[in-house]
Amino acid sequence: MDALVSIWEALPSISKLAPPAPGVYTTILHYFQYFPLMTTIIWFLPWHPAGKTSADSVLNLPGRIAWCAMEIVGPINLIYNLMLPSIYSPSIADLPASNIMVASLYCIHYFNRAIISPFFSAPSMSPIHLFIMSSAMLFNWFNSSCLSGWLRGYTVPTIPYYETTSRSALVDAIPTIGIMTFIIGMAGNIYSERTLFRLRREEAEKRSKKTDNPGSNKFSKVYVIPPAQGVFRYILYPHYVFEWLEWIGFALAGTAVVPLSGLPPAPSAATTPPLRLAPWLIPFGWVAGKLAVPLPLPAVVFVINAVANMLPHARWGRVWYVEKFGEKAVAGRGAAVPGCAWM
């Protein structure tokens, strides 16, 4: 009991969480960078009660509502944190245009994910387990809290720290390249997802003509394997790969985010203690140092965490396709890596 009391007393107050104070921001980022370690269990555990792999449970929630809830947390938390006044950094009205632009990219993606996709594009959505929704909401809260601190201009010294070299003309083009990459990734993600939705609708219409049950939802639990053509020619989850491309572009665009040192003077409390980088982040710090650009650390963490979370789900999705439609229908395609049967 005493241990629980000590943990509770050590937690930061609400006023330091929204928006996160610099020290809290560093702590959240420190723990969130190790999220890939948690995802290792997904490689061995196929349990994912959502979408085509959902199962009956008293803890199931309506698919569209649960999906919206778990996706909308991110942009709401980000906007809320950026708009709130803070003694540590300027408010959103005083942030540089580049910071606001990067925040807008994030919100545009999640507007599509939380509103357009579930309510206007998907023919139906299977129930989602409460655990899945809660886990996704927690992930998006952690992620958007890290991003909001970064976009407010917080800087975090890292261990190891890399000295920057002289800038080149290419560096100035990186944010533009990032925005273009983000747009291509988002367009590909939407196209791939809408293609799946179209195939499901067509299959549901075919089945409905063979049955006489007008009162049922003809789209419910109707899933198809996409033919091996177009973006599905070599992989089964191009929408995942395109989303990763989106976030790579987001990180590249994030090199234009202006740190606090480039903003109007703020209290010295805005400085934060050094953050020891997770081993898989060290190469990104080295590259940022060589290119003489700020390391968009929260954005890089987001890319790695997104891939670490989605890749094993794609792997189990391929297993599901094989069990449901057979290896012949899968046609040798990998989940997200061409020609790789287990990934």
Given the DSSP bridges, would you call strands 158-159 and 275-276 parallel, antiparallel or unpaired?
parallel
> In this structure, what token pair is assigned to residue 313?
């789900």
Please state, for a pLDDT cut of 70, what percent of the chain lies above it.
Answer: 85
Band (pLDDT 50/70/90 cuts) for residue 216 is low
The answer on pLDDT for 220 being more than 80 is no
Q: Which amino acid is at 267?
A: P
Burial of 200 (0-12, 13-18, 19+ CB in 10 A): buried
Which one has a higher pLDDT value, 13 or 291?
291
The answer on pLDDT for 165 being more than 70 is no
Cis check: omega of the bond before 160, within 30 degrees of 0: yes
Closest CA to 67 of 25, 127, 6: 127
* Beta carbons of 262 and 97 less than 8 angstroms apart: no
Burial of 157 (0-12, 13-18, 19+ CB in 10 A): exposed
**Which helix (H) or strand (E) is 252 found in, with range?**
helix 238-253
The answer on pLDDT for 59 being more than 70 is yes
The DSSP symbol for 232 reads G
What is the pLDDT at residue 48? 83
Per-residue pLDDT averaged across 199-224, rounded?
77
Band (pLDDT 50/70/90 cuts) for residue 83 is confident
Round to whole Å and give the CA distance between 120 and 194.
11
Round to whole Å and give the CA distance between 100 and 96.
7
pTM over 0.85? The answer is yes
Per-residue pLDDT averaged across 185-204, rounded?
94
Residues with Cβ within 8 Å of 41's Cβ and at least 6 positions away in sequence, in order, are: none
Per-residue pLDDT averaged across 46-57, rounded?
83
What is the pLDDT at residue 292? 84
Burial of 40 (0-12, 13-18, 19+ CB in 10 A): exposed
Given the DSSP bridges, would you call strands 128-129 and 60-61 parallel, antiparallel or unpaired?
antiparallel
Which one has a higher pLDDT value, 243 or 212?
243
Burial of 111 (0-12, 13-18, 19+ CB in 10 A): middle
Band (pLDDT 50/70/90 cuts) for residue 341 is confident
CA 277 to chain CA centroid, nearest Å: 20
Per-residue pLDDT averaged across 295-318, rounded?
96
